[in-house]
Structure 1
C-alpha cells in the first residue's frame, strides 16, 4: 500500500501537477508521453484503492474467519494478491491511452493531451468510463463499508461473549490484552478505510452530478464547477498518500521497520569505517 501510494505521488503530484506548474514545456507534455503518464496515474490510483480493499478483507478474515486466516492471512497470500492487483489494473487502464487527443500541434510534434469527444458520445467508451468508476471507487466503497460493519459487529459480539465467560462486572476496567488488540484493530481499520471513503466522497458526488446534469466541459477556470472539480481531485490524491502516515502512527511494527531502514545506512557506514581501520 505504501509503494502504491508513493507511485501516485510520483506520477500524479510530481511528474504531472508540479511539472505543469513549474516546467510547462518539457517532453512530458508531448501527447504520447502525456497520455502514457495519464494511464499510469489511473492505474496507480486504482492499485492504491484496491490494495486498501485488500487490506480491509485481510483484517476481516483475520478477525472474523478463524478457519480461513491461517490460509489467507499470510505473507504468501499477500504476495499473491499484490502480484495479481498490479498487472491486472495496469492492463485495465490501457484504454485510457487511446482516449486522449493532442491539444496543439507545433511542427510535427503533438503537445498536451485532452479528452476527445468519444468518452461522452461513443457507447463503448461511455460504458468503459462507467465501468472504471464502478471499479474505482463505487465497488470498493460498498465492500469496505460492508466488511467494516461485519468486522465491528463480530468484535462487539466476541467482546461481550468474553465478558460473560470471564464473569466480571468490571470487565472493561481490567487489563485484557485480547480486548486491547481488538481495539487497535478497529482503530486501524477505521483509520485506513474511513480515510478512503471520506476523501473519495467529494469526487464521487461531483462525478455523479456531472453525469446527471450532462455538463462535461468546464468553461471557466474561476467558476464553482472548476473549484469543485479541483477540490475533489485534491482530496482524491490526499486519500492515496495518507495511508502510510496512518500506518506510521498506529502500527508499532511499521515504526520499528521504518527506524531500522533509517539506521541501516549508518550501520553500513560504521561497518565500512571499522573495516578500513
Structure 2
C-alpha cells in the first residue's frame, strides 16, 4: 500500500510531463523528421494513457473511491483491459521506433520507402489495434469481489486463473509479447545498428581528412544517443516486473502473500509506470532543439504576462 501511494504522489507530474512532450514535438521544430516525430508522439501519448488508466484511475478508485462507479465489477474489468492495452502499446511503440532507426541507419535502400510519415502512421495504428485485441481476454479473468444489493463491486482474479492450463498459456503468451519479445528485438536491432555504425565510421575516418568535421557521423551519433537512451531506460525499468512475473509462475502463488512478494510486485509496477515519463527527460538531455523549444514554451507565457502588466 505504501508503494501504491507513492505512485499516486507522482500523478500530477507524469501527465504534465507527457503533455509537454507531445505539445513540443507536434510543433515540429525539434530538428527531427516527421517519421521520428510520429513515433515519439505515439510513445508519449501511450505513456499518458498508461498514467491516466493505471496509477490515477486504478489506484485512486481502490484507495480513495472504493464505492464509486469506477469500482463496479464491469468498470474494473474494462479498466484492466485498458491498462493492458495501453501498456502493451507503449512497449511495442518503443520496439517500432528502434526498428525504424535500424532501417534508417543500416538499410539505406529500404529507408526511402519505410521511414516515412505514412508508414509510421500505419505501423502505430496497426499496433494499437493488435494490442487492444490481445488484451480483451483480461476482461474474463476477473470475478466480482463482493455483491451488495445485487450490484457486483471490485474485481479479483478467478481461482481458475491460477490452475487452468488455458489461462497459464495466455499469461505466458502475454508475458512473451509484453515485454520479452520486444526486449530481444530491441537488443538485437541495437546490436546490429552499433555494428554497422562502427564499420562505417572506420571507413569514413580513413577517407576524411584529419581535422575535418564529418556531419554525417555527427548526425548518426545523435541518433544513436537518442535510440540507446530510450531503449536502455525502457529495458532497465521493466526488468523488475519481468523477473517478478517469471518467478511468480515458477513458485506457488502464496509467494505474493508475503511481504517480499508484495514489495517486489509493487516495485515492478512503480518502475513500469515511471518508465512512462522518462522519454521526455531523455529528449531534454539529448536533443538541443527540444531544449530550445521547451525554454521557448516556458518563457513565452511569462513574456506575455510581463507585456500585459506593462
- The question of 1:244 aligning with 2:280 is answered yes
Q: 2:167 matched to which residue of 1?
A: 125
Distance in 1 (alpha carbons) for counterparts of 2:46 and 2:290: 16
Q: Deviations over 1:186-240 (max 9, x none)?
A: 11111100011111111111111112213356324xx111111100111111123
Following superposition, the deviation at residue 26 of structure 1 comes to: 1.5
| 1:78-93 map, 5 Å | 78-93=120-135
- The question of 1:30 aligning with 2:68 is answered no
- The question of 1:182 aligning with 2:259 is answered no
TM-score (norm 1): 0.87
Q: 2:251 matched to which residue of 1?
A: 213
Q: Deviations over 1:241-267 (max 9, x none)?
A: 32233234333455566678779999x
- With 116-125 and 188-197 compared, the bigger mean Cα shift is at 116-125
Q: 1:14 matched to which residue of 2?
A: 56
Distance in 1 (alpha carbons) for counterparts of 2:227 and 2:164: 40
Point out the structure with max Rg over C-alpha: 1
Q: 1:141 matched to which residue of 2?
A: 183
Q: 2:264 matched to which residue of 1?
A: 228
Structure 1, unmatched stretches of 5+, are: 267-272
* Matched residue count: 264
Distance in 2 (alpha carbons) for counterparts of 1:78 and 1:264: 32
- With 188-197 and 17-26 compared, the bigger mean Cα shift is at 17-26
What secondary structure does 2:146 align onto? strand
Q: 1:160 matched to which residue of 2?
A: 202
Deviant stretches of 4+, over 6 Å: 259-266
Is 2:50–2:86's contact at 8 Å kept on the other side of the alignment?
A: yes
Structure 2, unmatched stretches of 5+, are: 1-42, 303-307
Distance in 1 (alpha carbons) for counterparts of 2:290 and 2:46: 16
What secondary structure does 1:24 align onto? coil
Following superposition, the deviation at residue 13 of structure 1 comes to: 1.5
What secondary structure does 2:147 align onto? strand
Q: Deviations over 1:156-194 (max 9, x none)?
A: 1111110111253xx6xx533222212111111111000
What secondary structure does 2:213 align onto? coil
Q: Aligned-residue CA RMSD in angstroms?
A: 2.4
- Relative to structure 1, the CA distance from residue 204 to residue 113 in structure 2 (aligned partners, 3 Å threshold; closer, same or farther) is same
Is 2:141–2:158's contact at 8 Å kept on the other side of the alignment?
A: yes
- Pick the aligned partner of 1:58 from 100, 121, 125: 100
